[in-house]
Amino acid sequence: MQPVNVGLLGLGTVGAGAVNLLERNGVEIARRAGREIRVVRAAVRNPDKTRECATSGIEIGTDCNAVVTDPNIDVVIELIGGDTQAYDLVMAAIANGKHVVTANKHLIALHGNEIFAAADEAGVVVSFEAAVAGGIPIIKAMRESLAANHIEWVAGIINGTGNFILSQMIFEDQSFEDALADAQRLGFAEADPTFDVEGIDAAHKLAIIGAIAFGIPLSFDKIFTQGIRDIDSVDIEYCAELGYRIKHLGIARRGDNGVEMRVHPTLVSQKALLANVEGEKNAIMVYGDAVGPTVYYGAGAGAGPTASSVVADLIDTVRIMSIDPKGRVPHLAFQPDEITDEPIVGSDDFVCGHYFRVQVADQIGVMAEITRALADQQIGIEAILQKDPPTEEDDARVMIVTKAAREGQLMKVLDHIRSLPYAREGIVHMRVAQFED
Amino acid sequence: MQPVNVGLLGLGTVGAGAVNLLERNGVEIARRAGREIRVVRAAVRNPDKTRECATSGIEIGTDCNAVVTDPNIDVVIELIGGDTQAYDLVMAAIANGKHVVTANKHLIALHGNEIFAAADEAGVVVSFEAAVAGGIPIIKAMRESLAANHIEWVAGIINGTGNFILSQMIFEDQSFEDALADAQRLGFAEADPTFDVEGIDAAHKLAIIGAIAFGIPLSFDKIFTQGIRDIDSVDIEYCAELGYRIKHLGIARRGDNGVEMRVHPTLVSQKALLANVEGEKNAIMVYGDAVGPTVYYGAGAGAGPTASSVVADLIDTVRIMSIDPKGRVPHLAFQPDEITDEPIVGSDDFVCGHYFRVQVADQIGVMAEITRALADQQIGIEAILQKDPPTEEDDARVMIVTKAAREGQLMKVLDHIRSLPYAREGIVHMRVAQFED
């Protein structure tokens, strides 16, 4: 059969990684795919820049449109990132009958619904395994391997930068700022770390995970998102005493009133597998009604792991385009006309355990009042820790972990505590993950 | 589109699990697969037996041949186990143009090469995700998601019974016999546990893993296989002091002289993810040159998890049969004419760390002689532990963990030690896993 011709939009770290991989393992990949795959063209911003890959045989220019309209190209790989130019180019590629592979979580989370509709209309395949958790095949696992399951929840460490920072804070006693600086020095964090530390990158990925898990449209703007910037090392310490580690998780969960979609710092039992995923690694736990819990672990970023997923998508595309692209696995797991818009609940309806830290004047009856407030809202207590604060000798710090409770109820308790005369300002609140390995 | 009609061979625990799953999640499964899937016929040994699933709409008889030749049936699910009758029936189903899904590792490990050749010839699909690690999608991960990688090694806990027994021995201080009895009482082990405790079941699975990882034919009879029956609790204790846990692993690894395929008790660093997989759970680590290490964790057996994989295979089959079965992913990952028969090495050529325990008379110069023997074979030492044995006061027990070494070299050392006048009989030897998370 004729080789498959690939055009690249962008030839930075991941693009060069893909070219290197297709070169290094080209024979082995053709042994699997049944066809040779070759990169014939690439559009880049600066054609004079030195590339991290061999470029012989690749026509390099600056015109992205020339790539997406090139009649000789079968598959376009989009690696320029962002959601504006990338969107226009992907839509143009689709309109020109090209299959598309992308690692762009931002693009898919925000515009996937339109992109997939256009691809279905045009009879082409858009693949995006690398958009979530880099080299970990979580899209395929949920979309195909767990297709027999009613998926009940997914919880994952899906931002390597954030996980690296938390690991440094926990094990190296670093402050958030120092850990972030280290992450930037080691290349795990961008110069502008906003998307990583504010949880936006994780929310992009969670939007994709939630859609595939539950058969709902991509709903990035409905995701509750909290970053890691405000995590205080004192809570890391108290949580450790209580048997937990703080992880930044993306959680998609079916609740009684709708789907919970949330990204936030989370207390995870030290014994749980997810608690022990360190550094820049990613891991996702998926709970299906038939299979129970399954976990997928690996590198969530980097040239090699991301290229691994990009080229796997390319091989899948080559296989299906060689027979009938209409036989592709549905982009969002469910057939397009079977995607239903289930309600996504607000934070008051989240159901989980809660951790809170409150500082109070150390008086008789304070603990009685706090625990009474919890009881009044029918909230059970999992653990209590009381400590002296480092200064203010007449104060006490109280840390409580509750059993699973509706967050709206817990907020009433915290409001009540805030109103008490002996409560100091600034209650810290975090959620607790409840899942068995 | 017309519903897909499925015929079952066997309606025991897993068969009933699949029927229940298709019933419970039937609407959701059709939303994903694009077609309704229904079980219309089943062949069982005893039609009067009570089933663990609803059977209305299923024609139940005793004639397996009637199922595999039924012109109304599109896909046959083989769940009778073993390698004789199952082989004849699967070959007959293929000859009759049926697609086949099976959970039978024994069958695939021993007869997969012929079965896949017949399926390729007939243009039908044979799927077997459930044959390895139950509900964990390891076949699909290696065959599709990691298809861009040169896979360097795979190491896994792929027998839940054995892992349960080892966990009991480690954490509950049980003897092997007591732990096995517990496993049988809890339904994790068969009445005849030979396949599990002797490593044969794990070797069946490793044959499949190795073929898919390396593009070689299924080679069950070349796998080096050691069970867990001879593990002494004293070694569990000493290994723990040295920082290791003993796990029963299946390892497929590219070495300099060929492929290593081995199933044996293995020392794993306590910090490694695989060391912390407990009870009847399975986990597989795959190392690809691009992606690095990835891990897949979940339930390796049981009605629900196994049915999860069986029905996932069924959905994949339904998707591809609806367009062109010839577009299926190759059964063993590589195109049939691209499978090459690489040499599989004997144990002398295994390269790994080694643990050995030897009992010696407690004399001056003994340790010097043992360590000299290692040095003469160019084997480095990772750790040494010396203990008094519980009895024989004038003896000492020496436990050594070596750095990676060719096993043939290590055997020369052990032979030399055996020949020394002060060495007692019975050197214990185990291999050490070397992999980063």
pLDDT tens column, B125-181: 999 999 999 999 999 999 999 999 999 999 999 999 999 999 999 999 999 999 999
What does the pLDDT average to over B213-218?
95
Q: Is B13 annotated as a binding residue?
A: yes
Straight-line distance from the first to the last Cα atom of chain A, in angstroms, rounded to the nearest whole number? 46
Tell me which of A38-42, A187-191, A263-267, B304-308 is least confident: A187-191
Whether B64 and B204 map to the same domain: the answer is no
Least CA distance to A305: which residue of chain B?
Answer: B291
- Of chain B, the percentage scoring pLDDT greater than 90 comes to 86
CB contact under 8 Å between A297 and B137, yes or no, is: no
Percentage above 70 pLDDT, chain B: 100
Q: Are residues B372 and B408 in the same domain?
A: yes
Provide the token pair at A422: 């002996």
Q: Same domain for A66 and A177?
A: no
Residue A231 CA to residue A238 CA, distance in Å, equals: 12
- B178 is a domain residue: yes
Closest Cα in chain B to A22:
B148
- Its domain, for residue B425, covers 348-432
Mean pLDDT of B376-393: 91
Q: Are residues B293 and B308 in the same domain?
A: no
CB contact under 8 A, A148 and B21: yes
Please compute the mean of the pLDDT values over residues A130-136 and round it to a whole number: 97
Tens of pLDDT, residue by residue over B247-302, are: 999 999 998 889 999 999 999 999 899 999 999 999 999 999 999 999 999 999 99
Chain A residues inside the 8 Å CB shell of B304 = 289-292
Say whether both B147 and B294 belong to one domain.
yes
CA distance A323 to B253: 34
Q: Choose from A145, A331, A335 for mutation: most chain B CBs within 10 A.
A: A145
Between A and B, how many residue pairs show a Cβ–Cβ distance under 8 A?
A: 217
What is the pLDDT, as a whole number, of residue B268? 96
The answer as to whether B421 is a domain residue is: yes
B214 in a domain, yes or no?
yes
Q: What number of other Cβ atoms are within 10 A of residue B123's Cβ?
A: 14
Has residue A419 been placed in a domain? yes
The rounded distance, in Å, linking the Cα atoms of B16 and A305 is 39
Q: Residue A296: its chain B contacts at CB < 8 A?
A: 294-297
- Determine the residue type at B436: E
Q: Give B226's pLDDT tier (boundaries 50, 70, 90).
A: very high
Choose the mutation target among B14, B31, B32, B287 for the interface with A, i.e. most A CBs under 10 Å.
Answer: B32
Residue B437 pLDDT > 90? no
Cβ A349 vs Cβ A406: under 8 Å: yes
Looking only at Cα atoms, what is the longest distance across chain A?
83
CATH code, domain with A411: 3.30.70.260
Asked, for residue A344, whether it belongs to a domain, the answer is no
**Is residue A293 domain-shared with residue A315, that is, in the same domain?**
no
Q: How confident is the model at residue A437 (pLDDT cuts 50, 70, 90)?
A: low
Which residues of chain A are within 8 Å of residue B137 when distances are taken between CB atoms?
Answer: 140-141, 144-146, 294
Structure tokens at A54: 């061999």
B128, closest residue in chain A (CA to CA)? A145
Q: Is A240 annotated as a binding residue?
A: no
> Residue A141 — left, alpha, or beta (φ > 0 → left; ψ -120 to 50 → alpha)?
alpha
Is B326 a known ligand-binding residue? no
Give A11→chain B minimum CA distance, Å. Answer: 17
What is the number of structural domains in chain B? 3
Q: Pick from A21, A289, A298: which is nearest to B148 by CB? A: A21
Whether the CB-CB separation of A16 and A51 falls below 8 Å is answered with: yes
Q: What is the pLDDT of residue A64?
A: 97
Determine whether the interchain pair B32/A296 forms a contact, defined as Cβ–Cβ distance below 8 Å: no
Residue ending a domain, choose from B338, B364, B387: B338
Mean pLDDT, residues A185-213: 92
Structural domain includes residue A206: yes
Query: Is A321 found in the same domain as A359?
Result: no
User: Nearest residue of A to residue B332 by CA position?
Assistant: A32
For position B324, what pLDDT does the model report?
A: 82
**Cβ <8 Å between B308 and A315:** no
Asked about B205 being catalytic, the answer comes back as yes
Catalytic residue of the set B49, B98, B140, B205: B205
What percentage of chain A reaches a pLDDT higher than 90? Answer: 86
In a domain, B401, yes or no: yes
Of A205, A222, A247, A281, catalytic: A205
Bridge partners for B395 per DSSP:
B361
A173: how many CB neighbours lie within 10 A of its CB?
12
Residues A247 and A367 in one domain: no
- Residue labelled with tokens 């996937």: A112
Q: Mean pLDDT, chain B, as a whole number?
A: 94
Give the residue among B167, B89, B103 at the shortest CA–CA distance from B133. Answer: B103
**What is the least distance, in Å, from the CA of B22 to any CA of chain A?**
8
Say whether both B107 and B149 belong to one domain.
no
Mean pLDDT of the B220-226 span: 97
- Would residue B437 count as lying in a domain? no
Task: Say whether both A167 and A206 belong to one domain.
Answer: yes
Nearest by CB to residue B294, choosing from A297, A307, A320, is: A297
Rounded to whole angstroms, the Cα distance separating A175 from A311 reads 38
- Name which of A33, A247, A241 is nearest A155 in CA terms: A247
* pLDDT over 90 at B95, yes or no: yes
ipTM for the complex? 0.94
Q: Which of A313, A338, A363 is the last residue of a domain?
A: A338
Q: Given pLDDT bands bounded at 50, 70 and 90, which one contains residue A436?
A: low
Q: Which amino acid is at B35?
A: R
Inter-chain CB proximity B31 and A338 less than 8 Å: yes
Same-domain check for residues A162 and A209: yes
Question: Which residues make beta-bridge pairs with A39?
Answer: A6
In which region does residue B53 sit, left (phi positive, over 0), alpha (psi from -120 to 50) or beta (all else)?
A: beta
Asked if the Cβ–Cβ distance from B308 to A146 is below 8 Å, we say yes
How far B267 CA lies from chain A's nearest CA (Å)?
Answer: 20
Parallel/antiparallel/unpaired status of strands A292-299 and A281-288: antiparallel
**Residue A271 belongs to domain with CATH number:** 3.30.360.10
* pLDDT reported for residue A107: 98
**Nearest in space to A168 (alpha carbons), one of A193, A195, A188:** A188
Question: Which strands, in side-by-side order, build the sheet including A99-102?
Answer: A59-61, A37-43, A4-9, A75-78, A99-102, A126-127
A28–B215 C-beta distance less than 8 A: yes
CATH code: domain of residue A331 = 3.40.50.720
Say if residues B14 and B301 touch (Cβ distance below 8 Å). Answer: no
Predicted confidence band of residue B48 (pLDDT cuts 50, 70, 90): very high
Same domain membership, residue A294 and residue A151: yes
